[in-house]
């Protein structure tokens, strides 16, 4: 398969690159800056594309993007301002809200818009990584305004993508990776990157088991929104 993965230089994105490369697929790894770990994976089957998803047009390496995409994984995201000091009711700023929303929600939309001809031609899958923190039903602790709002909005955007891309044979799903030990979580968490990625890859492979645009955790459990 031709697979495009955003936010591919570290964490979950890098884990997806490793997973699909190890399974014999061709991978286009989208990142803002090249990490040593991603550089080590570059080969005839792994290409690096420099693209800040806050921008509508990709940069260097975009000339090798595939004309047909079987799987797009919108993984790029940021947490934004610090949880306690920066995203509370009294502390969160409109600038902070805009920054996180621009990357975590609009970034996925920009990427899909730019790659739309190749996505339609592939007739495959778009997987958008949200977070359980974007579920209003699951929110029992409040706070985290920017991150929750952006990830919640992505669930809605993803559902609309599922409806609009269905006539082209493209399936769309929204994924929750779990609480993963990455730099975003200060390497706290319940599972490691490999467990999260393997679980989400399994959900993607079984996408026909889910409704279009459904919000699904790495372990296959549907998340109420």
Contact 131, 151 (CB under 8 A): yes
Blockwise average pLDDT, block size 10, the chain, 225 residues: 97 97 98 96 96 96 96 96 81 95 98 98 97 89 94 98 98 94 62 94 98 97 93
Q: Is residue 94 part of a domain?
A: yes
b (16+ CB within 10 A) / e for 48-75: bbebbbeeeebeebeeebbeebbbbbbb
123 located within any domain: yes
Judge whether 225 lies within some domain: no
Residue 223 lies in a domain: no
Give domain status of residue 10, yes or no. Answer: yes
Q: Give pLDDT, residue 138.
A: 86
At 170, which CATH number?
3.40.50.720
pLDDT at 181: 63
Report whether 73 contacts 127 (CB < 8 A). yes
The number of distinct structural domains making up the chain is 1
- Is 222 domain-assigned? no
Note whether residue 224 is domain-resident: no
Residue 68 lies in a domain: yes
What predicted TM-score, i.e. pTM, was given to this entire model?
A: 0.94
What domain range includes position 86?
2-217
Neighbours of 224 (CB within 10 A): 9
């Amino acid at each position: 398969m031709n697979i495009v993965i955003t936010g591919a230089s570290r964490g979950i994105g890098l884990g997806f690159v490793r997973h699909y490369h190890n399974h014999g697929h061709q991978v286009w790894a989208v990142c803002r800056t090249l990490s040593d770990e991603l550089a080590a994976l570059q080969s005839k089957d792994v290409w690096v594309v420099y693209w800040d998803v806050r921008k509508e047009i990709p940069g260097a390496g975009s000339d090798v993007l595939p004309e047909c995409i079987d799987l797009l994984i919108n993984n790029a995201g940021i947490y934004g301002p610090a949880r306690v000091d920066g995203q509370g009711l009294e502390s969160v700023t409109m600038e902070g809200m805009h920054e996180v929303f621009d990357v975590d929600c609009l970034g996925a939309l920009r990427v899909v818009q730019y790659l739309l001809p190749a996505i339609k031609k592939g007739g495959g899958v778009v997987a958008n990584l949200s977070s359980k923190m974007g579920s209003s039903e699951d929110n029992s602790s409040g706070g985290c305004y920017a991150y929750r709002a952006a990830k919640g909005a992505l669930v809605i955007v993803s559902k609309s993508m599922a409806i609009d891309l269905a006539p082209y044979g493209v399936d769309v799903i929204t994924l929750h990776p779990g609480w993963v030990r990455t730099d975003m979580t200060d390497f706290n968490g319940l599972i490691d990157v490999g467990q999260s990625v393997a679980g989400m890859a399994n959900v993607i492979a079984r996408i026909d088991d889910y409704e279009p645009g459904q919000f699904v955790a790495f372990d296959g459990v549907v998340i109420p929104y």
